[in-house]
Amino acid sequence: MKWYQLDVERVEQKLQVTSRKGLTTKQVEKRRKQYGYNVLETQKNTSKWLIFLKQFQDFMVLVLLAATLIAGLLGEYIDAIAIMIIVLVNGCFGYFQEQKAEKSLEKLKELSAPLATVLRNEKWEKIYSKEVVVGDIVKVSSGDRIPADIRIVKSSGMETEESTLTGESLPVMKHATAITRDQLEAQDQVNMGFMGTLVTRGSGIGIVVGTGMNTVMGQIASLMANTKKVMTPLERKLAELGKILIVVALFLTALVVMLGVMQGHPIYNMFLAGVSLAVAAIPEGLPAIVTVALSLGVQRMIRKKAIVRKLSAVETLGCASVICSDKTGTMTENKMTVKELFIGGNQLYVTGDGYNLQGDFFLNKEKVDEDYPNLKAMLLYGSLCNNASLQVKKGKQYIDGDPTDGALLIAARKIGLTVNATEKYRIIKEIPFDSDRKRMSVVIEDENQMRYLITKGAPDVLLPRSTYQENAQGRSVLKAADIEKIDEAINGMAEKALRTLAVAIKPLSKNENLDNAFLEKDLTFIGLYGMMDPPRKEVKAAIEECNQAGIKTVMITGDHVKTARAIAQNLNLLPANGLVLEGHQLSEMSVEDLEDVIDDTYVFARVTPEHKLKIVQAFQRKGHIVAMTGDGVNDAPAIKASDIGISMGISGTDVTKEASSLILMDDNFATIKSAIHEGRNIYENIRKFIRYLLASNVGEILVMLFAMLLAMPLPLIPVQILWVNLVTDGLPAMALGLDKSEGDVMKHSPRNPREGVFARGLGYKIITRGILIGIVTLIGFMVTYQNNPDNLIYGQTIAFTTLVMAQLIHVFDCRSEKSVFARNPFENIYLVFAVLSSLLLLLVVIYWEPLQPIFHTTYLGIRDWMLIIVLSALPTVLFGFTKK
């Protein structure tokens, strides 16, 4: 017998669990041991050794190693060993960097790993999907990916999309009854839910019958493509630029070697020097360091509650010019409280805030009780057509489910309606809420087997479907005058920033058609709820900050236009002449029409998720870089189409999370602002070390080239060149990646996404500083060598020291786009530490006797140091004054 052929009870028996209680911790542990984790084993991890070896895979490094081998064979042991050690240390450094980047990306993956809601020890809890075991009772709802193969126990209008398994993209309706037929394909097993497939509508509960590789998905997992690491735009740009720089560096190196040989330097010496120079000067590691900087930045973002799913988002964040944000939950707290009711033509006020179950109902300052006509009925309807429940955790009330639904439960409690009151009713059918329909309905049956439909939803959706109304005198036809009065009430509530919700019912006969199309019409209007959802405290300031940073904030909401306008005004989001557009207007507009007005529009109300795509497209056509938030399953297309798709960590569905490039752990708008702030900062830091590394390389090549042109001996020997490269490429560059922003990065407009790597004067700065570093090094060498022609080592030590010092001073220049004097050099403690350690290493190489023969160095006196310091400070100080 297959799982789909068994009754739910049999499945429960076989798996030793009941769907009321779930597994116990003991059972879970035992099953975990037996079946392992719920993961698909599609990817093998690259071994650490391979990552280490990869560091030496670069062509020039291989040539260098070969050359060193030849040097060793020729008897130049010291050189050979020294070069080997430097290459090895360099390799280790690369390895650790890569590991660090890898680890932080791993952590990211973990943080954004899918979650599952399971019933364990009689309590619903959220766990990582990989921890689900056979026998777990799981709850899924619209937008979730099913975490394992499940036998459905309960379906509330649950539909799934199984195209990943079956290729069929039409949704499949799920139910819980056993199927007797045999040999069914996955798509016909309509009482099963399969791992990795998507719930598109409704919700359901199921028992896990298969996990990991023992699922239908597991069987085809090996067919799934492995995810490849994709380069971010900047990494790609740098990789391309790298190719050009390789050619330039190789050409210049070849020139150095050729000139050297022509000047009579031994070929072997020139060859080794050339290869070392090429290894040092070719910035092949740039994309890798960018990855490290991005992943370090990503870690900082995690601390600010933003999880980056795609590394490229970090760069794009810095270019964002529009944030389109959902209102409910992102700009507001999503803590709804019913404040007003409209029943039988009268306005009632409700007291008691938040999750406080105490509160009273007032009519014109006079307290009313449960006998007030239709009050109890309306609150009962609100509790029946409801998917939330009130729970207590650590002595505190909280709502499990949709906060709108939760608010209705709390309002009902205020006149003493508890769960007991609703238990008498049986739910026959449910048409779930979604943002497109803007309503939810249930068909219920009472103790006397009387059936009726309860619908709740946006008033402007329900009113046109209502023919009657209920008031103190009973049911009557809903006339134009009544509708006018209701509209007035809606407007009154909305202007106070209250979210409005209408309730209507329809009596049904026992054998009445329960088709969706037939059900939700000719309704009897009962009343309105007006509920408050306060804006989050931080949002107003965050919007203001974005404004100053040249980023426009746009509110998108399914709520009533007046509610939206009131909240937007509270948040200072809507300027006096700003437009507010409504969903029905958007439907009539083409993307081109929208493009004409979009720059003046700040609020979109009563929109459905489909409209969001149009909004993204219109902004993009205007040249904007758009960040778009979303939570529901239907938001995914707009999130995908936007430049930075943002999903919600708490309320978001798996589908939107998968489509997004950024997840807000706290669902908070202010976190988007922090992420943009960080994104801008990371980009500036990347610019800093590109500038530093390339200027260093230019200096290194030029000093050799100038010397050869002037027919001088080699100012630097291969080991020295490699050492400079190691010490400067290493810690100081990394420390620049951790630099704080210069001034306030949120005070200027977003960066142009088409901006090149060398934009805003970066190329000029690299070349000018590089040339000067080359020149001062050469001057140091020339002055010393001309005075001591017999002591080449002395001249080389001066050149070597000047070059290193010039770079270690220049690194402070790279922190500022303006001038080295614009910033306090001790502000970045990592950089100070990195420079001090490089300096210490330099002193060791110069003064520690055993190393002197290896690095061809000799003692330097005070006067030498004075010369070195003056020369090496020159490039930085000079440009510090010119400020260019």
Active site residue ranges: 326
Count helices and strands in the chain by DSSP H and E runs: 32, 28
* Rounded CA separation 119/139 (Å): 8
Closer by beta carbon to ligand ATP, 497 or else 782: 497
Task: For 561-584, give one letter per residue: b (16+ CB within 10 A) or e.
Answer: bbbbbbbbebbebbeeeeebbbbe
Token duo for residue 423 = 């238990």
| Residues found near ligand ATP in the complex (CB under 6 A) | 326-329, 402, 404-405, 433, 435, 438-440, 456-458, 499-501, 556-560
Q: At closest approach, how far in Å is the CB of 442 from ligand ATP?
A: 11
Please state, as a whole number, how many other Cβ atoms lie within 10 Å of the Cβ of residue 69.
13
Q: At closest approach, how far in Å is the CB of 560 from ligand ATP?
A: 6
Torsion of CA 244, 248, 253, 259, to 10 degrees: 160
Q: At closest approach, how far in Å is the CB of 198 from ligand ATP?
A: 19
User: Of 111, 153, 116, 151, which is closest to residue 131 (Cα–Cα)?
Assistant: 116
Closer by beta carbon to ligand ATP, 212 or else 630: 630
User: First-to-last CA distance in the chain?
Assistant: 80
C-alpha separations of 646 from 63, 120, 608, 620 in Å? 46, 31, 17, 16
What is the phi-psi region of residue 371: left when phi exceeds 0, alpha when psi lies from -120 to 50, beta otherwise? Answer: alpha
Q: At closest approach, how far in Å is the CB of 199 from ligand ATP?
A: 17
What is the phi-psi region of residue 623: left when phi exceeds 0, alpha when psi lies from -120 to 50, beta otherwise? Answer: left
Q: At closest approach, how far in Å is the CB of 404 from ligand ATP?
A: 4
C-alpha separations of 439 from 385, 443, 461, 653, 794 in Å? 10, 14, 8, 19, 85
Q: At closest approach, how far in Å is the CB of 307 from ligand ATP?
A: 20
* Rounded CA separation 780/868 (Å): 7
How many alpha carbons lie under 13 Å from residue 322 in its C-beta half-sphere? 25
Closer by beta carbon to ligand ATP, 528 or else 806: 528
Contacts of 225 (CB under 8 A, 6+ apart): none
Q: At closest approach, how far in Å is the CB of 459 from ligand ATP?
A: 7
Under a CB-based contact definition with an 8 Å cutoff, are residues 134 and 165 in contact?
A: no
Q: Which residue is nearest to ligand ATP (CB)?
A: 558
Closer by beta carbon to ligand ATP, 403 or else 679: 403
Q: At closest approach, how far in Å is the CB of 433 from ligand ATP?
A: 4
Closer by beta carbon to ligand ATP, 280 or else 380: 380
Q: At closest approach, how far in Å is the CB of 321 from ligand ATP?
A: 21
Backbone angles phi, psi at 358, to 5 degrees: -90, 140
How many alpha carbons lie under 13 Å from residue 336 in its C-beta half-sphere? 25
Q: DSSP label at 24?
A: -
Closer by beta carbon to ligand ATP, 560 or else 657: 560
Alpha-helical (H) ranges within 710-828 are 718-729, 731-737, 762-787, 792-813
Q: At closest approach, how far in Å is the CB of 610 from ligand ATP?
A: 12
Q: Give all strands (DSSP E) within 478-592, no chain letters.
A: 498-508, 523-532, 552-556, 579-582
Closer by beta carbon to ligand ATP, 435 or else 681: 435
Closer by beta carbon to ligand ATP, 232 or else 455: 455
Q: For residue 213, give the H/E element and its range.
A: none
Closer by beta carbon to ligand ATP, 275 or else 458: 458
What is the phi-psi region of residue 196: left when phi exceeds 0, alpha when psi lies from -120 to 50, beta otherwise? Answer: left
* Rounded CA separation 278/254 (Å): 9
User: In this structure, is the dihedral angle defined by the CA atoms of residues 46, 47, 51 and 54, taken in order, positive or negative?
Assistant: negative
Q: At closest approach, how far in Å is the CB of 463 from ligand ATP?
A: 12
Closer by beta carbon to ligand ATP, 120 or else 657: 657
User: In this structure, is the dihedral angle defined by the CA atoms of residues 782, 786, 789 and 795, taken in order, positive or negative?
Assistant: negative
Closer by beta carbon to ligand ATP, 319 or else 501: 501
Residue with tokens 């394909």: 185
Under a CB-based contact definition with an 8 Å cutoff, are residues 406 and 477 in contact?
A: no
Closer by beta carbon to ligand ATP, 387 or else 696: 387
* Rounded CA separation 292/285 (Å): 11
Under a CB-based contact definition with an 8 Å cutoff, are residues 643 and 313 in contact?
A: no
CA-based max dimension of the chain: 117
